[in-house]
């Protein structure tokens, strides 16, 4: 829900306690690992693992059922219903189970007549479906765009706002996460009706290799199932990072950390950029089988704090300090309280290299009279002391990202 409208609602309705999505949402989603093959025996242990692994405590609070929870037809009253074989206890009982663990539960539907695998979408039934989700105590809706085109003349903006209003009218605080792959450039309008919006077609579990035909920039569009690599998703954010703001997050799609295709440095890079670009952090791996290394990356408190920083300002690409295809430098301010700036230095090339960052090259520091700053290397968990003029990072490995917090000495 839109930030302002929730503030207004909370004035008249004290039970709507939190401001929705003032920070990028964090959680787990079933799609990347399980596709539509989800059931209670997968979801319940996942919920338990979110708690036992420390992920819930670190902020990953939403457990989101993607496509595959639904039956192929609506019930006798026209309501969406769960697949009774896969979810024999039903969604309300599952929601109760998830809530008792201290988590929140998300569900998936679609702004078309059908969703991507021909389960019933919500087009034409938005109010009924929103009321159903609210009556099941659902806390989050991921709303997709397949089969939307069969809805005829209505634009995505219209179709997505009808569900946004239906959710608001339920009176329940349901986070509204748009998934229409960046179509119609939602960074210009989705703030009016949702908490977050996907800015691209689907991610694939690969650091650098895109599926064929994948677009490289934000304004060149792919639909769902696109197969966008981590590096290309980061590339697309060059045009979009300036749009990030509390209550309206561009969603870079689910994290592929722990899905077994990336090195430790590549997974660190993936996490650093999703965090500093203020994307929602939604885990896509099977957390019941994840390696300790990948889990450690997802649990890194300092990187999470960058994502959840009060200011909600994303880092910006700095072309003057970068070199296409080999070095990328991105930087941005943290909230006033921390007096800090976050700087990301990625070695995109194949060999280890040194990277030099002059303080004068960072926009917010350019006009400062200070010559020296305190520097912390976040992944090394090490204070590097007070450094004058700028820093040279020695021996940055291939595909590694150094994350620095640069603050007043
Ligand atoms: C795509 C969406 C994916 C997943 C999938 C389900 O449109 O981008 O994240 O939800 O549909 O079929």
Each residue's pLDDT tens digit, 186-206? 999 999 899 999 999 999 999
Distance from Cα 143 to the centre of ligand 1, integer Å: 9
CB neighbours of residue 392 within 10 Å: 10
The CATH code of the domain that includes 380 is 2.60.40.1180
Domain that holds residue 50: 8-307
Q: Is 202 a catalytic residue?
A: yes
Nearest C-alpha neighbor of 356 from the set 386, 382, 387: 387
Q: Are 281 and 24 in contact (CB under 8 A)?
A: yes
Task: For residue 384, report the distance from its CA to the centre of ligand 1, in Å.
Answer: 43
Residues 197 and 287 in one domain: yes
Tens digit of pLDDT for each residue in 41-83?
A: 999 999 999 999 999 999 999 999 999 999 999 999 999 999 9
Q: Is 209 contained in some domain?
A: yes
- Range in 21-30, 88-97, 155-164, 227-236 with the lowest mean pLDDT: 155-164
Provide the H-helix boundaries in 148-229.
156-169
Tell me the whole-structure pTM to 2 decimals.
0.94
Domain's final residue, options 257, 282, 307 = 307
Cα–Cα distance, 372 to 378 (Å, whole number): 19
Phi-psi region at 302: left, alpha or beta (left = phi > 0; alpha = psi -120 to 50): alpha
Question: Do 187 and 267 fall within a single domain?
Answer: yes
Beta carbon of 67 within 6 Å of any ligand 1 atom: yes
How many A from CA of 76 to the centre of ligand 1?
A: 27
**CB of 114 shorter than 6 A to ligand 1:** no
Q: Is the CB of 224 under 6 A from ligand 1?
A: yes
d(CA 22, CA 245): 9
Give the number of residues written for the chain: 409
Question: Contact, 174 vs 185, CB < 8 A?
Answer: no
Indicate whether residue 133 lines ligand 1 (CB < 6 A): no
Task: List the structure tokens of 196.
Answer: 């977050």
- Domain identity same for 350 and 266: no
Say which of 202, 253, 286, 309 is annotated catalytic.
Answer: 202
User: What confidence score (pLDDT) does residue 11 get?
Assistant: 32
CA 278, CA 312: separation in Å to the nearest integer?
A: 7
Does residue 146's CB lie within 6 angstroms of at least one atom of ligand 1?
yes
For residue range 345-364, list pLDDT tens digits in order.
999 999 999 999 999 999 98
Report how far residue 199's alpha carbon sits from residue 181's, in angstroms, rounded to the nearest whole number: 5
| Domain assignment of residue 188, yes or no | yes
Q: Which residue has the higher pLDDT, 178 or 155?
A: 178
Name the active-site residue from 66, 110, 144, 251.
Answer: 144
Structural domain total, the chain: 2
- Tell whether 191 and 285 lie within a shared domain: yes
Give Cβ neighbours of residue 67 (< 8 Å, ≥ 6 apart). 31, 35, 36, 108, 115, 116, 117, 119, 144
Do 43 and 150 have their domain in common?
Answer: yes
């Amino acid at each position: 829900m839109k930030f302002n409208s929730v503030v207004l609602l909370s004035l008249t309705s004290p039970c709507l306690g939190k401001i929705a999505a003032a920070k990028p949402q964090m959680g787990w989603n079933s799609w990347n690992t399980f596709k539509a093959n989800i059931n209670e025996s997968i979801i319940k242990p996942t919920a338990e693992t979110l708690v036992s692994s420390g992920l819930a405590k670190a902020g990953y609070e939403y457990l989101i059922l993607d496509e595959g929870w639904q039956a192929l037809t609506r019930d006798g009253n026209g309501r969406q219903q769960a697949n009774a074989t896969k979810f024999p206890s039903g969604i309300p009982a599952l929601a109760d189970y998830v809530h008792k663990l201290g988590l929140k539960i998300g569900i998936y539907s679609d702004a078309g007549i059908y969703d991507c695998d021909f389960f019933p979408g919500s087009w034409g039934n938005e109010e009924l479906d929103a009321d159903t989700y609210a009556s099941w105590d659902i806390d989050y809706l991921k709303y997709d765009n397949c089969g939307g085109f069969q809805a005829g003349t209505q634009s995505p903006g219209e179709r997505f706002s009808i569900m946004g209003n239906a959710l608001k009218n339920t009176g329940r605080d349901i986070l509204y996460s748009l998934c229409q792959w960046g179509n119609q450039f939602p960074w210009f309008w989705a703030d009016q009706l949702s908490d977050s919006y996907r800015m691209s077609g689907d991610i694939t579990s690969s650091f650098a290799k895109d599926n064929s035909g994948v677009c490289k920039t934000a304004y060149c569009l792919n639909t769902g199932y696109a197969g966008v690599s981590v590096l290309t998703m980061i590339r697309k954010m060059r045009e979009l990072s300036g749009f990030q703001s509390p209550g309206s997050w561009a969603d870079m799609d689910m994290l592929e950390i722990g899905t077994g295709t990336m090195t430790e440095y590549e997974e660190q890079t993936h996490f650093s950029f999703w965090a500093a670009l203020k994307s929602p952090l939604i885990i896509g791996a099977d957390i019941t089988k994840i390696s300790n290394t990948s889990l450690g990356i997802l649990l890194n408190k300092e990187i999470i704090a960058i994502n959840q920083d009060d200011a909600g300002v994303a880092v910006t690409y700095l072309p003057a300090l970068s070199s296409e295809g080999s070095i990328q430098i991105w930087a941005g301010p943290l909230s006033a309280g921390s007096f800090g700036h976050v700087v990301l230095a990625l070695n995109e090339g194949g060999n280890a290299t040194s990277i030099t960052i002059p303080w004068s090259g960072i926009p917010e520091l350019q006009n400062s009279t200070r010559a020296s700053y305190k520097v912390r290397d976040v992944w090394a968990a090490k204070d590097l002391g007070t450094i004058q003029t700028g820093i040279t990072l020695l021996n940055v490995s291939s595909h590694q990202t150094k994350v620095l917090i640069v603050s007043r000495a």
